[in-house]
Chains A and B, each alone.
Chain A
């Protein structure tokens, strides 16, 4: 990171190559599967990294990077326009669920293959729970890394994870394999 801040292009290339895919995966899941939006947020995150001066060389880089990414995603969701469109989207989704509350086994296997059921379940988690679940189960973060990233105590990380996974469990029934 020190080399990047000194203007070393090779160091920047190494940093981007290493973090592009994981960061894209994180933001993609956080924003509900919008590829273009997550690409924009990745770019914005790395631009923030280059422009700010708060990084301390003796502290781990990854939690700091994901703090920036998380804050940017949160800022995006806080914007009034996004809140409005999400509310409308949620009500449409609720209507769809109302009329299609009992999907057939074939439909569920197809949905599982596309991950749409998981995506919908994660989207229904509130932001705080979604963030810890994605960091833990998709990014493979340790509890300590999550605490450092979100600047919250370890106990809060555990309680949010516990609530998050229990809510997911109530929404995600196991898929019955072997349905023809």
Chain B
């Protein structure tokens, strides 16, 4: 039985000429080649009958992945990745109560006030101590759910634990950077010299303590990790200010170093979340 035939894609003769020209044939070559190429249409391919397509579809359906509304929802969300991350971040903001925002702002304000009042000979030490306190608070508040053993619940949610951790860090660090900008404005308005150096003295240790605390949370409880990170920094600060080590540890040249180390620690901690997930799961 003859099969229905497929159509020739070049409906108008000049389309074939255009195709030849596009691939680099000269007008003379086109004239020479066209008669032979027109003959290609003599050999038509069979068109499948609707029954053939139905048969093929039936065979393919058995190989189709099982329909999953969850997978579909994930696909839809992945298509709007930025919007999804923003929505996740917005939802995570609700985790932080009003007290967190106010206390963080108050600590920053106090630091600025102490610096501007010149009551201490070494103003930078106040900022170096108060900045990381915000990191300590942020870690404890943002990841306090660890104590409530909610990781299993987070695992069944659409955002991954990594996305949730990332969203919370963006919120806390974004707010802290905002406070840092406000601090530099206050210092500048108060007529303090070295605004940049003072702001970095506040922000860089904050990043270091945040990174260290985040890394330690993979092995320790959130409270212990944040306390250990902040305590270690205070110890370094105390040793540095009371001994000659200050020259080595707290020199202006090394001002940015703690921040870089902190960011690296944060990156390591985030990359290791998946690997260390089993430690975070509640055990029977």
Binding site for B on A (CB under 8 A): 2-9, 12-13, 16-17, 20-22, 24-26, 28-29, 33, 35, 39, 42-43, 46-47, 50-51, 112-119, 122, 136-140, 143, 157-158, 161-162, 165-166, 168-169, 171-175
Contacts and interface: CB of A to CB of B under 8 A. Distances in A.
A132 B194 CA distance: 69
Contacts of A46: 56, 60
Contacts of B53: 16-17, 20
Interface stretch (B35-43, B133-141, B266-274): B35-43
A165 B26 CA distance: 13
Contacts of A166: 33
B45 interface: yes
- The winner among B24, B43, B48, B66 for most chain A CB atoms within 10 A is B43
Given A162-B25, A166-B33, A21 B42 contact: no
B9 interface: yes
B18 to A, nearest CB: 11
A27 to B, nearest CB: 9
A39 B52 contact: yes
Contact of B42 (A13, A25, A118, A136): A118
A148 to B, nearest CB: 16
B243 interface: no
Contact of B36 (A112, A136, A172): A172
22 contacts: A5-B65, A5-B75, A6-B68, A6-B75, A7-B65, A7-B71, A12-B61, A13-B57, A16-B56, A20-B48, A24-B47, A28-B45, A29-B43, A39-B48, A115-B44, A117-B39, A117-B42, A139-B9, A158-B23, A165-B25, A169-B33, A174-B36
Given A16-B57, A143-B22, A24 B46 contact: yes
Interface in B61-96: 61, 63-68, 71-72, 75, 79
Nearest to B70: A6
Given A136-B19, A162-B24, A162-B25, A168 B37 contact: yes
A3 B64 CA distance: 11
Given A2-B75, A137-B37, A8 B67 contact: yes
Nearest to B24: A158
B153 to A, nearest CB: 25
B200 to A, nearest CB: 41
B143 to A, nearest CB: 33
Contact of B68 (A7, A50, A112, A116): A7
B23 to A, nearest CB: 5
Given A140-B9, A175-B39, A29 B45 contact: yes
Main secondary structure of the interface of A (DSSP, over half): helix
B3 interface: yes
Interface in B135-152: none
Contacts of B66: 7
A17 B52 CA distance: 10
Contact of A35 (B6, B36, B37, B46): B46
A126 to B, nearest CB: 17
B32 A169 contact: yes
A11 to B, nearest CB: 9
B60 A50 contact: yes
A47 B63 contact: yes
A24 B45 contact: yes
A175 B214 CA distance: 80
Contacts of A5: 65, 75
Contacts of B22: 143
B268 to A, nearest CB: 29
Contacts of B67: 6-9
A175 B39 CA distance: 8
A178 B200 CA distance: 92
B36 A169 contact: yes
B166 interface: no
A110 B59 CA distance: 38
Contacts of B8: 138
A136 B20 CA distance: 10
B39 A51 contact: no
A155 B127 CA distance: 64
